[in-house]
Structure 1
Amino acid sequence: MSELLDIFLASVRDGFVQVSAFVAVTVLVFSYVQYRTDGRLVRRLEENRRAGPLVGALMGLTPGCGGAIVMMPLYVRGSVSFGTVVATLIATAGDSAFVLLALAPEAALYAYGIALVAAVCFGYAIDRFGLGVGRVDAAVASLRPALSDGGVAAPAVGNQAHHYADAEGCAADDGPARDSAFGRWVSRVALGAWWLSAAVALVVGVLYLVRGAPEVPLAVGLSYAGVFTAVGVAGTALSAFLYFVGRNYIGHGRVGGGRDTFESLAETGTHAAMETSFVTVWVVAAYLLYEYALVFSGVDIAAVAAAAGILAPIGGAALGLIPGCGPQIVLSAAYAEGAIPFSALVANAISQDGDALFPLIAIDKTAAVVASIYTTIPALFVGVAIHLTWTAVFGLPQFGFGVLG
């Protein structure tokens, strides 16, 4: 029981300090840019369609899913091409990027750099040559009844714009769901305490990286380890409260919905906190799932991955087909533990779509399925190529490459 409790506390603590504090900064900066530009950034993207795949790939590359989520409504409006959507989803780093950047920054730079190149090349190839998008569209559509939410327009070869009608009721409702003066007060206090915890955790997290990501013991007190533990546990507890309870009283309950702009700095900060709280819940759940799976199963994941050979990158690409960031966070944590090869990490980085796929699923499931297929194709090719050449050609290890500590 003592070991299980230590795993729980360490996962709760590390998830907030090592990941969430950095998530908060990234989401806040992106939200602030939206606030300051009053939506002009989004309008500029709509006006430059030819640069779509490149811009989409760069938006997807931003850690988290915020940049990729912004692109999905533009596609639904017919403002950007299908190649832009695929490029965005291929480059999407997702919430797992925060885990990887914190624990294996060099591996993250290589993996996401490769994903960026694949995204731009494949996105422009789809827009220029089609690559069979029409046939895939038809095959997927034949698997289910006619669409009732706008349907798929037959694409012109070389310009897969794929216009979809805007579905009613898709606008994010960020208002409070419950009306209680006490509930609002408690939630606002928790929000302020959360930002204080995030600020302290950022300082502690930076020191952790500067020191070379050493093992930090669970401790109580004013020592570095004590502050590390206290702020990590408190930050995760506050994140859970804001995500499960607080959002009902202060709004911004539909995390991952994407916004063109914000009305005030207070709203911007609230949105960033809610988005990060959502990420924290996922990260901690992934940490716990991975650690407890090792304890109870007794399986040596590193040995299994090493024995898998070329099947490892294929498995990484297949895992990326699952929408959301939860499974990808688990995979990134596993890589940092030396449990999977770099080729599987790269294949997953290319294949995963993160939370950005959910808005597309809500509008048109066919488009979402087709996009997922087209992000998996380059993931398989590149992942297998990396598996065959990474050590033989570049002389770099498959396991543990770029991991701190």
Structure 2
Amino acid sequence: MVTMAEVFEVIVVSMRDAFLAVTVFVAAMIFLFSWLQYITAGKFVDIIRSNTRWQPVIGALMGITPGCGGAIVMMPMYARGYVTYGTVIATLIATLGDAAFVLIGAAVTDSAFIAPVLAVHFISFIIGISWGYLVDGMKITPRNPLGKYGPTFENNNPPRNLPENKNEDAKEILDDLGREDESGWGYFLLHQGYTVWWIVTALGLIFAVLLLVWSAQDADFTLEIDYNPFTLNGIITWIGLIGTSLSVILYVSQKNWISDDTEASIGDKLYSMRETMIHSASETAFVTFWVMSAYLIFEFSMLFSGMTEADIARYGDGFTAVILASFIGLIPGCGPQIIAITAYTKDLISFPALAANAISQDGDALFPLLVRHRAASIWATVHTTIPALIVGFSLMAFGVTF
């Protein structure tokens, strides 16, 4: 019989661990990559427009950067006719969205994840480039989903490729991303409360690093639950609880339930360093919510079913897991993908399933494509799922695992 004390402990531990084991490291990485996007976005736009032959490669590079920002920037460029459909596919295959931060965070805290993190990014990058060139080579487009070997469908909103657009600079393209609506309590809460969130996160990062050091020095070291704020365990527990609570508040205030990055938020980040910090907080809060949700799902599943992680892991191997992971990738947004990736970090699904999900998922980039080009967004999910299944099954056949 499960007691309320056990349920409460699962919630507390999940909140604490989600913040100290994932959030604080994710926050640092999101801020770093957001800053890099802030200072280089215009250059990437200019480079990709002037190097048509290398567009799938550059698109894959934009996609492979952790987060959804690089991939989202590519979507209005396709709508304007500046990049090929193969470039879009290369970008979407390469991106792991915000789920990448979960993997990288796991590698920071456990060196055993370094190899699979590098491997899945390398595989996604190479498959993205290869499939992108294949799509362009076969003349595959939303209007010709089977390329030159299949039927041609009517396209009511083809990508623009007008002569007068040739002189547009990167700023005009980034302007197409839009800006956020500055009204509403969600906007106010995020823009006024992000400083408090960053202070708590900075403290959490310090203690998270110390926990890694203490664990390395003492193999028997364990972090106990303690609600006394005047003890070390108590301080760490409360930082974790407060940090996760603030993250949930920011997450709810934005009302972006399964996706965090929007064209407007990316547009704001690319024009303001302050907005970069603000939306880095929002993006990290989004990741925190879904990681905590994954923790709660796994822990409650074991608590109420009596199963162990080893029991659950038996269902995460085999062809069924690869197919399921690929189909989860069909769901737009980063939320469901974070749960899938978290399952791998807890040894609940196999590496082939991880790779299949990484290739199939499109992160938040599918939403702006859906708005601008519905046919492209629909066919893109199909054209990214096919290589996901092929790669997943191939990795299984050759026994590749980490």
TM-score, length-scaled by structure 2: 0.79
**SS in structure 1 opposite 2:205?**
helix
Q: 1:132 to 1:62 in 2, by over 3 A?
A: closer
Q: Which residue of 1 aligns with 2:30?
A: 27
The correspondence for 1:94, drawn from 97, 100, 103, is 97
Q: Is the 8 A contact 1:141 1:366 kept in 2?
A: no
The correspondence for 2:53, drawn from 46, 50, 54, is 50
Q: Distance in 2 between matches of 1:385 and 1:7?
A: 38
Q: Which stretch of the first structure deviates more once superposed, 169-178 or 103-112?
A: 169-178
In structure 2, stretches of 5+ residues that fail to align are 107-112, 162-174
Q: Distance in 2 between matches of 1:79 and 1:351?
A: 24
**SS in structure 2 opposite 1:39?**
helix
Q: Which residue of 1 aligns with 2:168?
A: none
Q: Is the 8 A contact 2:360 2:381 kept in 1?
A: yes
Find out whether 1:84 has 2:107 as its counterpart. Answer: no
What per-residue deviation string (whole Å, max 9, x for no partner) do you get for residues 344-402 of structure 1?
111111111111111111222211111111111111111001111125xxxxxx4xx3x
Q: Which residue of 1 aligns with 2:244?
A: 236
Q: Which residue of 2 aligns with 1:267?
A: 275
Deviation at 1:224, TM superposition (A): 5.6
What is the 5 A alignment of 1:277-288?
277-288=285-296
Find out whether 1:65 has 2:73 as its counterpart. Answer: no
Q: 1:389 to 1:198 in 2, by over 3 A?
A: same
**SS in structure 1 opposite 2:343?**
helix
Q: Distance in 2 between matches of 1:187 and 1:131?
A: 42
Find out whether 1:303 has 2:314 as its counterpart. Answer: yes
Deviation at 1:320, TM superposition (A): 1.1
Give the percent of matched residue pairs that are identical in Structure 1 and Structure 2.
40
Deviation at 1:310, TM superposition (A): 2.4
Q: Distance in 1 between matches of 2:69 and 2:339?
A: 20
Q: Is the 8 A contact 1:243 1:274 kept in 2?
A: yes
Deviation at 1:94, TM superposition (A): 1.7
Q: Which stretch of the first structure deviates more once superposed, 19-28 or 61-70?
A: 19-28
In structure 1, stretches of 5+ residues that fail to align are 156-168, 392-397
Q: Distance in 1 between matches of 2:210 and 2:130?
A: 38
Deviation at 1:87, TM superposition (A): 0.7
What is the 5 A alignment of 1:136-215?
136=145, 150-152=156-158, 171-178=177-184, 184=188, 190-209=193-212, 211=215
Number of aligned residues = 366
What per-residue deviation string (whole Å, max 9, x for no partner) do you get for residues 328-357 of structure 1?
222222222222211111111111111111
Q: 1:187 to 1:67 in 2, by over 3 A?
A: closer
**SS in structure 2 opposite 1:288?**
helix
Q: Which residue of 2 aligns with 1:3?
A: 6
Q: Distance in 2 between matches of 1:342 and 1:140?
A: 37
Find out whether 1:343 has 2:352 as its counterpart. Answer: yes
Q: 1:47 to 1:200 in 2, by over 3 A?
A: farther
Deviation at 1:88, TM superposition (A): 0.8
What is the 5 A alignment of 1:312-323?
312-323=321-332
What per-residue deviation string (whole Å, max 9, x for no partner) do you get for residues 270-315 of structure 1?
2222222222222222322333233334563222234xx3222122
Q: Distance in 1 between matches of 2:212 and 2:62?
A: 26
Q: Which stretch of the first structure deviates more once superposed, 133-142 or 22-31?
A: 133-142
What per-residue deviation string (whole Å, max 9, x for no partner) do you get for residues 30-60 of structure 1?
3333444573433333332322111111221
Q: Which residue of 2 aligns with 1:159?
A: none
Q: 1:187 to 1:179 in 2, by over 3 A?
A: closer
Output the amino acid matched with 1:390. G
Q: 1:21 to 1:75 in 2, by over 3 A?
A: farther
Q: 1:91 to 1:176 in 2, by over 3 A?
A: same
Q: Distance in 1 between matches of 2:59 and 2:207?
A: 33
Q: Which residue of 2 aligns with 1:217?
A: 224
**SS in structure 1 opposite 2:145?**
helix
TM-score, length-scaled by structure 1: 0.79
Q: Distance in 1 between matches of 2:316 and 2:33?
A: 36
Greater fraction helix: 2
The correspondence for 1:356, drawn from 354, 365, 377, is 365
